[in-house]
């Protein structure tokens, strides 16, 4: 009887679903700086690398660069596209090269947000109260990077409602730091914000009503890829198509990351505490993985 090598024996003990995938497939995931995007990208990086042998690179780029790079094949997938309104302009030029897959979150929100203690309820009311929303010496709406979809929609809102405020763009982290300080001191501030976001669990906030519908209705978040990705990795495509999160699960993931101040540590802790949910996502036969 031939002696079985220890390496061969070790491989034989790997679960079938992992053995079929464990060829160190390299995948580039395009990311942006939105809190939920950072959260889920790090969660999937941990799961795919540590449990399935993938080599995952997170490539943080602007929205315009992400879609162009994916169309060219430099980015394989991205975990967040808001449709039918917010991200459609980014998708339009590349619809032939990209594929939108299944939804993983329903019922987003997007718009201008103030603390609940601020006694206005609609965007038009900002016109009469603009001087109260002073930031760095001028009436302002504090937003994120200028290339983001929400920044463009905010510019549209300023024009449509003839608001005497200027959008001040910065990073999400800088925006939330300024907003947190204002909230702590019960100061007046208006920011661009979206749901899901950890801020709604941390603070008592409200969206300003948008009578003209500039920011659109509730939307759905999908994942998307270069057009040939599904045929190259049918297992991961099926896994991601079966992935779904709600306000509790996604909000909890973001809250842990915010509390720990580290997306990797926070995502790992959340995974450890939600193994049942995670295992349901991963319970897919790895045929031709």
- The pLDDT, as a whole number, for residue 85 is 84
Angle made by CA atoms 276, 277, 282, in degrees to the nearest 5: 95
- Do 109-207 and 24-107+218-282 fall under one CATH topology? yes
- The pLDDT, as a whole number, for residue 8 is 40
In sequence order, which residues have a C-beta less than 8 Å from that of residue 7 and are 6 or more positions away?
Answer: none
Per-residue pLDDT of the chain (289 residues; tens, 9 = 90+): 433 443 444 434 444 444 445 456 999 999 988 889 999 999 999 999 999 999 999 999 999 999 999 999 999 999 999 999 889 999 999 999 999 999 999 999 899 999 999 999 999 999 999 999 999 999 999 999 998 889 999 999 999 999 999 999 999 889 999 999 999 999 999 999 998 988 887 899 999 999 999 998 889 999 999 999 999 999 999 999 999 999 889 988 998 998 999 999 999 999 999 999 999 999 986 543 4
271: nearest Cα among 16, 43, 70, 81: 43
74: nearest Cα among 57, 54, 96, 53: 57
Whether residue 211 contacts residue 124, with contact meaning beta carbons closer than 8 Å, is answered with yes
Q: How many CB atoms lie within 10 A of CB 16?
A: 10
CA 30, distance to chain mean position in Å, is 11
Fold observed for domain 24-107+218-282:
D-Maltodextrin-Binding Protein; domain 2 (3.40.190)
- The pLDDT, as a whole number, for residue 156 is 97
- The pLDDT, as a whole number, for residue 24 is 64
How far, in Å, CA of 252 to CA of 228, rounded?
33
Delimit the domains of the chain by residue range. 24-107+218-282, 109-207
Q: How many CB atoms lie within 10 A of CB 83?
A: 16
Whether residue 110 contacts residue 86, with contact meaning beta carbons closer than 8 Å, is answered with yes
**DSSP-based three-state secondary structure for 127:** helix
282: nearest Cα among 115, 101, 47, 81: 47
Domain 109-207 in CATH 3.40.50.300? The answer is no
- The pLDDT, as a whole number, for residue 202 is 83
- The pLDDT, as a whole number, for residue 208 is 98
| Radius of gyration of the chain, Cα coordinates, nearest whole angstrom | 22
Facing residues of 98 across strands?
Answer: 226
- The pLDDT, as a whole number, for residue 233 is 98
């Amino acid at each position: 009887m031939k002696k079985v090598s220890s390496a061969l024996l070790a491989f034989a003990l790997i679960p079938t679903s992992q053995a079929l995938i464990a060829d160190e497939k390299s995948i580039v995931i395009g990311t942006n700086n939105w809190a939920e995007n950072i959260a889920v990208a790090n969660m999937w990086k941990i799961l795919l690398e540590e449990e399935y042998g993938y080599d995952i690179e997170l490539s943080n780029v602007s929205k315009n660069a992400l879609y162009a790079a994916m169309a060219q094949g430099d980015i394989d997938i991205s975990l967040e596209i808001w449709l039918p309104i917010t991200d459609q302009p980014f998708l339009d030029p590349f619809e032939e090269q990209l594929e939108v897959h299944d939804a993983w979150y329903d019922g987003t929100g997007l718009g201008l947000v103030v603390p609940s203690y601020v006694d206005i309820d609609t965007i038009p009311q900002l016109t009469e109260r603009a001087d109260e929303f002073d930031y760095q010496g001028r009436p302002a709406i504090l937003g994120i990077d200028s290339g983001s979809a929400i920044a463009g929609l905010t510019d549209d809102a300023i024009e449509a409602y003839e608001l005497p405020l200027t959008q001040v763009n910065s990073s999400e982290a800088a925006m939330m730091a300024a907003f947190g300080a204002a909230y702590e001191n019960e100061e007046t501030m208006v920011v661009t914000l979206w749901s899901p976001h950890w801020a709604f669990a941390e603070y008592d906030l409200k969206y300003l009503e948008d009578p003209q519908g500039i920011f659109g209705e509730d939307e759905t978040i999908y994942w998307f890829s270069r057009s040939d990705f599904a045929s190259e990795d049918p297992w991961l495509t099926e896994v991601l198509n079966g992935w779904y999160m709600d306000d509790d699960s996604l909000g909890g993931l973001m809250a842990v990351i915010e509390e720990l101040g580290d997306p990797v540590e926070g995502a790992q802790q959340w995974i450890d505490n939600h193994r049942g949910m995670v295992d349901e996502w991963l319970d897919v036969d790895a045929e031709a993985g």
